Amino acid sequence: VTSIVLWLTKELFQISVPSAKERTFIAVKPDGVQRRLVGQVIHRFERRGFKLVGLKLLQVSKNLLSQHYCQLTKKPFYPDLVEYMTSGPVVAMVWEGPNIVQTCRMMVGHTNPAEAHAGTIRADFSLHVSRNVVHASDSLEGAQREIMLWFDGHDLLKWDCIDQSVTSE
């Protein structure tokens, strides 16, 4: 009965329920890998309660990068951005959980570390906008596009976290 009442309430009042299956794309950029921050970045998302569903270490090609940053190709910093992002390995990840796109953006912080709030990854680990340690998708559509660009579907795992019923509704 409770679940029917909940369902009816949500339907009647159009309350949007965050999908536990929402996914986002996160990458530890070459400066983060060089500085051995991969574990610390992963720890933050694990600690929050999100679920890792895809992970790989790769050397990014200029082709992949130009697709990933297709909206930035005209920016004056774009050539430097390509050099930075191809300078060493990147750790690419897909994470899953309720409201994850927005939450991860908050956890990652402002693009410019100088403007990022203390406690965010960029504020805690970086100094300059051109070396800001992590990437996180900025919208649901962006996340879907980036996940498809960086991962084959069969590299993403469906699995149950044993604590899911404790950390989510």
Using CB under 6 A as the binding rule, whether residue 77 contacts ligand ADP is answered as yes
User: Among residue numbers 15 through 54, which ones bind ligand ADP (CB under 6 A)?
Assistant: none
135 is a catalytic site residue: yes
- What would the x/- binding string for ligand ADP be over residues 89 to 128, using CB under 6 A? ----------------------x-----------------
Residue 90 near residue 41, CB atoms below 8 Å: no
DSSP 155: G
Residue 78 near residue 72, CB atoms below 8 Å: yes
Q: What backbone phi and psi angles, to 5 degrees, belong to 162?
A: -65, -20
Q: How many CB atoms lie within 10 A of CB 149?
A: 13
Residue 34 near residue 64, CB atoms below 8 Å: no
Q: How many CB atoms lie within 10 A of CB 86?
A: 15
77 is known to lie in a ligand binding site: yes
Q: Among the options 43, 110, 135, 154, which is catalytic?
A: 135
Which one of 42-50, 87-95, 130-138, 154-162 is the stretch in contact with ligand ADP (CB under 6 A)?
130-138
Using CB under 6 A as the binding rule, whether residue 67 contacts ligand ADP is answered as no
**Chain positions contacting ligand ADP, by CB under 6 A:** 72, 77, 81, 111, 129-130, 132, 135, 138
Which residues are known binding-site members for ATP?
29, 77, 105, 111, 122, 132
